[in-house]
Amino acid sequence: MARVTATVSVALLAFLGIQGCSEESKNPVALTVIASEPEAGKYAFDVPASVEGGVVKIELKNTGKEPHDLQLIKVKDGTAPEKLVEDLLESEGAPFPDYMLDGAGGVGTIAPGATSTVTQELDAGTYVYYCSIDGDTGPHYENGMLGAVTLKGDKGKGDLPKAEGSIKAKEYGYEFSGLKAGSNTITFENTGQQFHHAQILPVSPGKTFEEAKAAFLSQEEPTGPPPVEFEKAVGTAMLAPGEKQVQTNLTLESRTYLVVCFIPDKTGGPPHLVKGMAQQLDLS
């Protein structure tokens, strides 16, 4: 009898162990990143050298006084972050470098003091991270917000969180659904064949959407007040074709927005804005 009891106990413990592992395996990997400004004109991310891959929940906390984003781009192992931003961000109209792979994500633009979370699937590999925001002293990636992180394996599991709103990007436009004034949790999905993001720019009081769009398309030097309020801009990170993510705390106001993609095609050329990827979003 004692032997039977012991056998049952072992089996029960094994079952509970399997259940525990099963439950744990359904959880995304958690990654918290703090955006800080250690001194005037200097910026920093506290990203670890490596994290687990799979479904990853990235929380970006902006403790600074300026907007920040956290862009991730998958690259071939050994790629220097400085090389990527030079070839991708500072070579206007050039094709994407061949060491840049089909993998991207991160957290879009958030305001000072804000926190936003993105959940998405990130395959194992090397990712360059940077902040694309341009400040008074130049792009933030030139002043500290640039580095690389290695994702290992696929430990992160589970489905993406539910979202009440969505933005779908493709060539060359957006589909909006369920967006509202206030704080939004949205699914951002790239259903196209090119890389896309969604920069959501509030049209300045006294200006129209058409005036704001025309100003961005104009080749002339801008004059007068800007047609959009850049300091109130929000948005998503750039995603590779076929990828999607869920982002929380996308805060919008009751007003008109210009939603635009500044990314060019992988083969180079003008930004998608020029190809018509600039749409009006009205919230009341």
Domain boundary among 158, 176, 206: 158
Residue 110 phi/psi, 5° resolution?
-130, 155
How many whole angstroms separate alpha carbon 281 and alpha carbon 217? 18
Contact 154, 124 (CB under 8 A): yes
Of 148, 7, 22, the closest CA to residue 74 belongs to 148
Percent of the chain topping pLDDT 70 = 91
Residue bearing tokens 């064949």: 193
Provide the 3-class DSSP secondary structure of residue 77: coil
Query: Cis ω on the peptide bond leading into residue 99 (within 30° of 0)?
Result: no
Asked if residue 10 is part of any domain, the answer here is no
Of 100, 150, 155, the closest CA to residue 126 belongs to 150
Asked if residue 137 is part of any domain, the answer here is yes
Residues 140, 96 within the same domain? yes
Burial of residue 126 (number of CB atoms within 10 Å: 0-12, 13-18, 19+): buried
Query: How high is the pLDDT of residue 219?
Result: 87
How many whole angstroms separate alpha carbon 242 and alpha carbon 158? 18
Asked if residue 55 is part of any domain, the answer here is yes
Contact 143, 279 (CB under 8 A): no
Residue type, 284: S
Residues 152, 181 within the same domain? no
Domain boundary among 136, 158, 180: 158
Structure tokens at 103: 């993998």
Residues 171, 280 within the same domain? yes
Residues 152, 177 within the same domain? no
Partners of 199 in the β-ladder: 235, 260
Asked if residue 12 is part of any domain, the answer here is no
Residue bearing tokens 């076929």: 242
Residues 269, 172 within the same domain? yes
Domain boundary among 125, 158, 191: 158
Asked if residue 106 is part of any domain, the answer here is yes
Q: How many domains does the chain have?
A: 2
Of 181, 178, 175, the closest CA to residue 162 belongs to 178
What lies within 8 Å, CB to CB, of 56 at 6+ separation is 28, 29, 30, 31, 119, 120, 121, 122, 151, 156
Asked if residue 67 is part of any domain, the answer here is yes
Query: How high is the pLDDT of residue 284?
Result: 87
Residue 143's domain comprises 28-158
What lies within 8 Å, CB to CB, of 282 at 6+ separation is 255, 256, 257
Asked if residue 6 is part of any domain, the answer here is no
Positions of the chain with pLDDT under 50:
1-22
Residues 140, 183 within the same domain? no
Residues 164, 210 within the same domain? yes
pTM confidence score: 0.89
